[in-house]
Structures are given as C-alpha cells and as structure tokens.
Amino acid sequence: MNTTEFEMKKVYSEASGAMSVVDSNIRMRMNEYGLFEESLIDDNSEISQTAVFVSPNLNKETNESEVAEKLYAGDSGISFDERIGYYHSTYVGHVLEGDYRNNASSGGMATWVFKELFDNNLIDYVIHVKKNSDSNSNQMFKYDISSSIKEIKEGAKTRYYPVEISEVMDKVKEQPGRYAIIGIPSFIYSVRLLAMTDPIFKERIKYTIGLVCGHQKSTKFSESMAFQVGIKPGDLKDIDFRHKLLDRPASSYAVKMTGLIDGEMKTVVKPKSELYGQNWGWGFFKPTASDFTDDVFNETADLVVGDAWLPEYTTDSQGNNIVIVRNKEIDNLIKKAMKSQLIKMDVVDKEIIFKSQASHYRHTHDELAYRLHVKDKEKEWRPSKRVSANPNLSKTRQEIQDLRKIISDQSHILYQEAVIRNDFNYFVKQMTQHTSRYTALYKTINRRDRFKRFLKMKPHEIFSKLMKRLKK
Ligand SMILES: Cc1cc2nc3c(=O)[nH]c(=O)nc-3n(C[C@H](O)[C@H](O)[C@H](O)COP(=O)(O)OP(=O)(O)OC[C@H]3O[C@@H](n4cnc5c(N)ncnc54)[C@H](O)[C@@H]3O)c2cc1C
C-alpha cells in the first residue's frame, strides 16, 4: 500500500500498534486530539503487506469469524451463537476470593483469571494496562508486563484511555515465556493476526482475555472530567474511572481524580451523574475506528468479560461481570473455583449475556449497516466488514446515527477550542446545540415505545397500572 492511500485510510485504524510491531517504518504517536495514530518515519516508503494484514480494518484477507472458527470450532462440546460467537459456558457473577472484586471495576474476574493462570503455572507473564510509572511522560496509562501476583493486581481497573501494544509486543519477541494478554475486541483480533504472521507470537501468547468495549476514548475524556472539578488540562495526575459508590447501584459509579487545584494536590470523587459527557450514546471523544468494528463480544478472545448491566445484578454496588468462556482450560479453572466458593458465578443462558449488551449490539453491529451505507453514498473509502451496507433503517434511528457522528466529531474539535479559551462552559454550550436535539429525539422514541406497549396491554393490566398511579 502506498503512503498516500495509507494516510487516507488510517483514520479507520484501531491504533493498537500492531502495524508498528511488524513494520519498522511505522511508529505510534499521540495526535493533538489525544488519540494514538500510526505515523510514518519515511514518507516515501511503502506500507508492508504484513502491516496491512495485522490491521483489522485494512486486512481484506480474513475476518473475526474465520479466525474464531480456526481457533475454537474444533473443540469438543463447544457451542456457537451468531451474535456472541463460540462458547463453552456463559456466566454472570463476581469474585469472592480476597480483594479482587473490591479493587476491580466490576466483578473482578479479569484480574482474578490472570492470577489463576499464573498460580496454576499456565503462564509466566501478564500483559495488561497499568498506571505509567514514568512520571515524566504525559501518557497516564500504558500496556505493561507483570510477572508476580502483586504486579498483576496493580493492573486492575478499567482505563477509558488510549493505549497501544507495540512496546509490550516488542518485549514479548525479546523475552521467551508464556503470556496472557487482555484487550478490547479490535486489539485482541490484531494480536491474533500478529500470531498468524509470526510463530513467536503464536507460541508465546497462550491466552487472550477480551473486554467488551462500547467505544474507545481519547485522553481528552479524562482531561475534560478533571477540568470540570477544577483540575486544569495537564494537571491531572491520577484517575480512577470506576470508583465504586457503596450506597448506589453498580452502574452509578463515581470518578476519582487527583491533580493540582489552585497549586495544591487534591483528590476529588465525583459521581458520574454530576459530570458532563458521561452519556455513552453521545460518544464524546470517540475515535472513528470504534464505529467501524462489528465485533461486539470479542469473538477471538479465549475469555470475555464485561459489565453485567442487568437490573437483577446492578443493584449490587460492588459490580458483576458477564463472562463468556471459549477456552476449556479457563472454563475448568472457573468451574473448580465455583465449587470451592472462590468465585460466585450464575450459569446463565446466552440470551442473558446478549441482553446485557443489547443497545451496544444495536449501535455497533446492526446500525453499522447504515453507517457503511452513508460512506458508500458519499463515495468514500471504508473498511470491508462482515456486516453489509444497508440503508433500511427507520428515519428516527438514521437521525440518531447521524447525530452521534456529529456529536462525536464535534467533541474533539470544540473541546480543543474550550481548552484554548480556558473555559469548559464553552464546550458545554457548543455541544448542547447537538446533544439537545439528540435528547429530544430519544424522548420521542421513548414516548412512542410507551404507546406501543400500551396498545399491547390487556384491559386488566391497564386497570392495575392505573390503580398503581392513583395510589402514588
Ligand atoms: C475502553 C473500554 C470500554 C468498555 N466498554 C464496555 C461496555 O460498553 N460494556 C461492558 O460491559 N464493558 C465494557 N468495558 C469493560 C468493563 O469496563 C470492565 O473492564 C470489565 O467488565 C472487566 O471488569 P473486571 O472487574 O473483571 O476487571 P478488573 O479486574 O478491574 O480488570 C480490568 C482489566 O482490564 C485491563 N484494562 C483496563 N483498561 C484497559 C484498556 N483500555 N485496554 C485494555 N485493557 C484494559 C486492566 O489492565 C485489567 O486487566 C470497557 C472497557 C474498556 C477499557
């Protein structure tokens, strides 16, 4: 691929750093919007075929379904669902052992499974995301390699923050051993593609743990939350994106931020409901690539963990995971721990897993068809996906999709202007022009849905609903 073509297409790259691992002419750099992007050392040199192959949105030779089939279809007893992929088991629950759940974003399964693999001598190293120990760097979190339980535990918690794998994967090449890695869907898929191009990765990456991922965020997401509590851009030193509030449902978590306020180092805990920009449907600070993946359930990962956003589980403020297990060895570890009560897992139907991510699936998978159609109509290049372009979407949903794109694009630009003006309210005011239209649309949709439900109700149901209202 020539460089001009690459420069035009790279906005669709997940920016995992995989291309940089296989092509010495590519390195990762943070752009002015706080997003990683591939940058060329020599502008005249071609992009290697291997680099194109390991890039999920540039690769045209294979896809997640084919790779998952090669990995799992041959396992005896494995099941398959078109939406969630291959699975041996599906669970919802949390860790009981030690302080894993307490220190985690959700039920603590991600960190606990790493610990189990390590304790059972199945791996030597864990590749995960930790606080950057280099205090001179303005990159707050990065992929790192851990080789003890203490280090593994330090990597707990969700970081809604851009990270990339080029540095750690270079270390994997240098340092023999058995590794487990965690990542969002496009990253795990790029690790699988790397393993298809290089036998060292195939041999050393023994297990992959996948996160469910609504979308990625730029560094400006954390910066903008800190800005709101008086920590100026550049002055944020630490952030916990998922601080549990023990008197509230798991979904009503807070954000804990430490930084300079009027020259003094302070820590502020703010419920996310009191921070602007927390509506994930709006998609503030979202990179383009997040809207061009059709892998919702991290289909090429051995184990998938996400948040159990289900009414029967969110009431528990400590949080629960949804869990999809595609690897038999990991499933055996989970089953053994369930018996010895180290973890509490409910065996659930795959529909429960799907239900917990239903709106994510609709946006990321189903309505991708419309986003692809828009690109085709505009005669713009776009990646080829498993979902086909299709204009058949209701007018309201089309408008929601169009607005989401505007909101997300504008958030990058208008936030930059707000920083220049040193005025966060400028950002709020400008963004509200777009988000208020979005909110109004959702109100219409909700009203319409309520009316449709009403039309389906039986007379006795209407009567009992009326009685309940009267009692209030
Ligand atoms: C950007 C992003 C978006 C997400 N969106 C959703 C969503 O829409 N729906 C949903 O159900 N779940 C989502 N998750 C996953 C969810 O937030 C939890 O991470 C997951 O449920 C695991 O919880 P836990 O308690 O088991 O993890 P913990 O035990 O707290 O461990 C978290 C693990 O994730 C790793 N990690 C943290 N940040 C990153 C990162 N940026 N990239 C790769 N690895 C990382 C950590 O190193 C650690 O190993 C998202 C995660 C991320 C990073």
Average pLDDT estimate for 440-454: 85
pLDDT at 455 (0 to 100): 84
- Closest of 386, 428, 392, 385 to residue 410, by C-alpha: 428
What span, in angstroms and rounded, lies between the C-alpha atoms of 203 and 262? 52
Average pLDDT estimate for 210-226: 98
Judged by DSSP in three states, 21 sits in: helix
Q: What percent of the chain has pLDDT over 90?
A: 92
Q: pLDDT band at 457, cuts 50/70/90?
A: confident
Average pLDDT estimate for 22-33: 97
* SS3 track for 233-291: CCCEEEEEEEECCCCCCCCCCEEEEEEEECCEEEEEEEEHHHCCCCCCCCCCCCCHHHH
Q: What percent of the chain has pLDDT over 70?
A: 100
Instruction: Tell how far the Cα of 7 is from the centroid of ligand 1, in angstroms.
Output: 30
> Amino acid identity, residue 461?
E
Q: Which residue owns the Cα nearest ligand 1 atom 40?
A: 159
In sequence order, the β-bridge partners of residue 321 are 93, 307
Tell me, using a 6 A CB cutoff, whether residue 307 lines ligand 1.
Answer: yes
Tell me, using a 6 A CB cutoff, whether residue 115 lines ligand 1.
Answer: no
Instruction: Tell how far the Cα of 160 is from the centroid of ligand 1, in angstroms.
Output: 8
pLDDT at 266 (0 to 100): 98
Q: Which residue owns the Cα nearest ligand 1 atom 42?
A: 183
Tell me, using a 6 A CB cutoff, whether residue 159 lines ligand 1.
Answer: yes
pLDDT at 449 (0 to 100): 81
Average pLDDT estimate for 161-180: 98
pLDDT at 466 (0 to 100): 82
pLDDT at 467 (0 to 100): 83
E strand or H helix that includes residue 454: helix 424-456
Tell me, using a 6 A CB cutoff, whether residue 162 lines ligand 1.
Answer: no
Tell me, using a 6 A CB cutoff, whether residue 182 lines ligand 1.
Answer: yes
Task: Give one DSSP letter per residue of 119-179, joined into a string.
Answer: HTTS-SEEEEEEE---TT-S--EEEEEE-SHHHHHHT-S---S----HHHHHHHHHS-S-E
Ligand 1 atom having least distance to the Cα of 356 = 11
Is residue 325 over pLDDT 80? yes
Ligand 1 atom having least distance to the Cα of 309 = 11
State the chain's mean pLDDT as an integer.
96
CB 48 within 8 A of CB 223: no
Considering only 75-79, 345-349, 432-436, 461-465, which range has the smallest mean pLDDT? Answer: 461-465
Average pLDDT estimate for 262-273: 97
Average pLDDT estimate for 126-144: 95
Q: pLDDT band at 369, cuts 50/70/90?
A: very high
Tell me, using a 6 A CB cutoff, whether residue 105 lines ligand 1.
Answer: yes
Residue 458 neighbours by CB distance under 10 Å: 8
CB 393 within 8 A of CB 369: yes
Is residue 458 over pLDDT 90? no
CB 254 within 8 A of CB 243: yes
pLDDT at 246 (0 to 100): 92
Instruction: Tell how far the Cα of 104 is from the centroid of ligand 1, in angstroms.
Output: 9
Which of 84, 167, 211, 295 has the most ligand 1 atoms within 8 A of CB, as the residue to mutate?
211
pLDDT tens per residue across span 30-46: 999 999 999 999 888 89
Using alpha carbons, list the distances in angstroms from residue 316 to 94, 111, 278, 310, 356.
Answer: 11, 20, 21, 11, 15
Tell me, using a 6 A CB cutoff, whether residue 155 lines ligand 1.
Answer: yes
Is residue 471 over pLDDT 80? no
Which of 123, 158, 207 has the most ligand 1 atoms within 8 A of CB, as the residue to mutate?
158
Q: pLDDT band at 299, cuts 50/70/90?
A: very high
pLDDT tens per residue across span 274-298: 999 999 999 999 999 999 999 999 9
CB 54 within 8 A of CB 21: yes
Is residue 383 over pLDDT 80? yes
CB 316 within 8 A of CB 308: no
Q: Which residue owns the Cα nearest ligand 1 atom 12?
A: 306
Is residue 472 over pLDDT 80? no
Tell me, using a 6 A CB cutoff, whether residue 93 lines ligand 1.
Answer: no
Tell me, using a 6 A CB cutoff, whether residue 163 lines ligand 1.
Answer: yes
Instruction: Tell how far the Cα of 74 is from the centroid of ligand 1, in angstroms.
Output: 29
